[in-house]
Amino acid sequence: MIPVKQLLNEVIASLRNVIAPAVADPYPKAQAYMTAVILEFIARQVDERTDIAEAKATELGALYEQLTRLAGMDRIVGGEPPSEAALCGLIERLYGERDRLGEKNFAAANHLIRTTLRHLLDQELKITGKSEA
Protein backbone atom coordinates (compact mmCIF):
# COMPACT_ATOMS: atom_id res chain seq x y z
CA MET A 1 0.00 0.00 0.00
CA ILE A 2 1.06 3.57 -0.58
CA PRO A 3 2.38 5.10 2.68
CA VAL A 4 -0.34 7.24 4.23
CA LYS A 5 1.49 10.59 4.13
CA GLN A 6 2.56 10.12 0.50
CA LEU A 7 -1.03 9.25 -0.42
CA LEU A 8 -2.46 12.24 1.43
CA ASN A 9 0.02 14.61 -0.20
CA GLU A 10 -0.90 13.37 -3.68
CA VAL A 11 -4.64 13.62 -2.93
CA ILE A 12 -4.08 17.20 -1.73
CA ALA A 13 -2.16 18.00 -4.93
CA SER A 14 -4.97 16.55 -7.02
CA LEU A 15 -7.62 18.57 -5.19
CA ARG A 16 -5.62 21.79 -5.31
CA ASN A 17 -4.21 21.59 -8.83
CA VAL A 18 -6.77 19.63 -10.84
CA ILE A 19 -10.16 19.26 -9.20
CA ALA A 20 -10.76 22.65 -7.56
CA PRO A 21 -9.59 24.75 -10.56
CA ALA A 22 -11.94 22.78 -12.82
CA VAL A 23 -15.02 23.49 -10.69
CA ALA A 24 -16.91 26.54 -11.95
CA ASP A 25 -19.51 26.90 -9.21
CA PRO A 26 -17.97 28.99 -6.37
CA TYR A 27 -19.41 26.97 -3.49
CA PRO A 28 -18.16 23.48 -4.47
CA LYS A 29 -14.92 25.08 -5.68
CA ALA A 30 -14.31 26.54 -2.22
CA GLN A 31 -15.25 23.18 -0.66
CA ALA A 32 -12.66 21.39 -2.81
CA TYR A 33 -9.92 23.86 -1.82
CA MET A 34 -10.94 23.62 1.84
CA THR A 35 -10.80 19.82 1.69
CA ALA A 36 -7.19 20.14 0.53
CA VAL A 37 -6.41 22.47 3.44
CA ILE A 38 -8.02 20.14 5.98
CA LEU A 39 -6.19 17.13 4.57
CA GLU A 40 -2.91 19.00 5.05
CA PHE A 41 -3.72 19.30 8.76
CA ILE A 42 -4.77 15.68 8.92
CA ALA A 43 -1.49 14.63 7.25
CA ARG A 44 0.36 16.22 10.16
CA GLN A 45 -1.88 14.45 12.69
CA VAL A 46 -1.76 10.88 11.44
CA ASP A 47 0.95 8.26 11.59
CA GLU A 48 1.21 4.91 9.86
CA ARG A 49 -0.24 2.12 12.02
CA THR A 50 2.69 0.51 13.81
CA ASP A 51 0.72 -2.53 14.97
CA ILE A 52 0.48 -3.83 11.41
CA ALA A 53 4.18 -3.39 10.69
CA GLU A 54 5.04 -5.03 14.03
CA ALA A 55 2.71 -7.98 13.44
CA LYS A 56 4.20 -8.49 9.98
CA ALA A 57 7.76 -8.38 11.36
CA THR A 58 6.86 -10.99 13.98
CA GLU A 59 5.29 -13.26 11.35
CA LEU A 60 8.29 -12.94 9.04
CA GLY A 61 10.79 -13.62 11.85
CA ALA A 62 8.92 -16.76 12.88
CA LEU A 63 8.74 -17.97 9.28
CA TYR A 64 12.47 -17.58 8.66
CA GLU A 65 13.21 -19.45 11.88
CA GLN A 66 10.95 -22.33 10.87
CA LEU A 67 12.32 -22.47 7.33
CA THR A 68 15.94 -22.76 8.45
CA ARG A 69 14.99 -25.93 10.33
CA LEU A 70 13.82 -27.63 7.12
CA ALA A 71 16.18 -29.84 5.15
CA GLY A 72 18.06 -28.18 2.29
CA MET A 73 16.70 -24.70 2.97
CA ASP A 74 19.88 -22.89 4.11
CA ARG A 75 20.83 -21.66 0.67
CA ILE A 76 17.25 -20.67 -0.12
CA VAL A 77 16.70 -18.71 3.09
CA GLY A 78 20.01 -16.89 2.56
CA GLY A 79 21.52 -14.32 4.88
CA GLU A 80 19.15 -11.41 4.40
CA PRO A 81 17.17 -10.24 7.42
CA PRO A 82 13.46 -11.10 7.20
CA SER A 83 11.37 -8.60 5.26
CA GLU A 84 8.60 -8.69 2.68
CA ALA A 85 11.07 -7.83 -0.08
CA ALA A 86 13.46 -10.56 1.07
CA LEU A 87 10.58 -13.04 1.19
CA CYS A 88 9.85 -12.35 -2.49
CA GLY A 89 13.39 -13.42 -3.36
CA LEU A 90 13.11 -16.44 -1.09
CA ILE A 91 9.91 -17.59 -2.80
CA GLU A 92 11.57 -17.29 -6.21
CA ARG A 93 14.58 -19.31 -5.03
CA LEU A 94 12.30 -21.96 -3.53
CA TYR A 95 10.51 -22.53 -6.85
CA GLY A 96 13.85 -22.35 -8.68
CA GLU A 97 15.29 -25.15 -6.54
CA ARG A 98 12.16 -27.28 -6.42
CA ASP A 99 13.79 -30.20 -8.25
CA ARG A 100 16.85 -30.21 -6.00
CA LEU A 101 14.73 -30.02 -2.84
CA GLY A 102 12.31 -32.75 -3.86
CA GLU A 103 8.55 -32.42 -3.79
CA LYS A 104 8.16 -33.30 -0.09
CA ASN A 105 10.60 -30.63 1.14
CA PHE A 106 9.27 -28.09 -1.35
CA ALA A 107 5.70 -28.67 -0.17
CA ALA A 108 6.68 -28.33 3.49
CA ALA A 109 8.45 -25.00 2.89
CA ASN A 110 5.68 -23.75 0.59
CA HIS A 111 3.07 -24.60 3.23
CA LEU A 112 4.91 -22.57 5.88
CA ILE A 113 5.31 -19.65 3.47
CA ARG A 114 1.67 -19.69 2.44
CA THR A 115 0.57 -19.76 6.07
CA THR A 116 2.65 -16.65 6.70
CA LEU A 117 1.40 -15.00 3.52
CA ARG A 118 -2.15 -15.56 4.76
CA HIS A 119 -1.28 -13.78 8.01
CA LEU A 120 0.45 -10.91 6.16
CA LEU A 121 -2.59 -10.53 3.94
CA ASP A 122 -4.89 -10.50 6.97
CA GLN A 123 -2.90 -7.57 8.31
CA GLU A 124 -3.35 -5.65 5.05
CA LEU A 125 -7.04 -6.45 5.00
CA LYS A 126 -7.44 -4.63 8.33
CA ILE A 127 -6.89 -1.44 6.30
CA THR A 128 -9.15 -2.31 3.39
CA GLY A 129 -12.02 -3.14 5.73
CA LYS A 130 -12.43 -6.60 4.19
CA SER A 131 -10.92 -8.48 7.12
CA GLU A 132 -12.88 -11.53 8.25
CA ALA A 133 -11.42 -11.25 11.73
Partner 1 sequence: MATEGATQEKITAYLATRIIPEARNIKLTNWIQTAVGWSHETYVFDASWTANGGAHQRGFCVRKDPGTGLLRELSSLEDQYKVLKALEKTSAPTPKGYWYEPDTSILGGPFLGMEKIAGEATNPWSRVGKQYYAEAAKRGKLPRSFVEALASLHNLDWRAAGLEFIGVPGPGKDFALREIAKWEGLIAQSGRKPEPVLTELLMWLKANAPVAPRLALVHGAYRTGNLMIKDDEVSAIIDWELQVIGDPMYDVAYVLSDLNREGSPLLSCVIERDLFVDYYQQLTGLEINFDACRYYQVLYMMRTAAFWLSASGLFADGRSKDLRLARTTYSVPVVLDMAAKMLGF
Tell me the per-residue interface mask from 83 to 102 with partner 1, x by CB under 8 A, - otherwise: -xx-xxx-xx-xx--x----
For the beta carbon of residue 18, count every other beta carbon within 10 angstroms: 10
The Cα 29–Cα 39 span in angstroms is 16
Site mask for partner 1 (CB under 8 A), range 48-77, x = bound: ------------------------------
**Is 115 near partner 1 (CB under 8 A)?**
yes
Q: Closer CB to partner 1, residue 48 or residue 124?
A: 124
- Is the torsion defined by CA of 80, 85, 88, 89 positive or negative? negative
Residue type, 59: E
Cα separation, 128 vs 130, whole angstroms:
5
Looking at residue 70, the DSSP 8-state letter turns out to be: S
Closest distance to partner 1 from the beta carbon of 27 (Å): 20
What are the residues binding partner 1 (CB under 8 A)? Answer: 1-2, 6-7, 10-11, 13-14, 17-19, 84-85, 87-89, 91-92, 94-95, 98, 113-115, 117-118, 120-121, 124-125, 127-128, 130
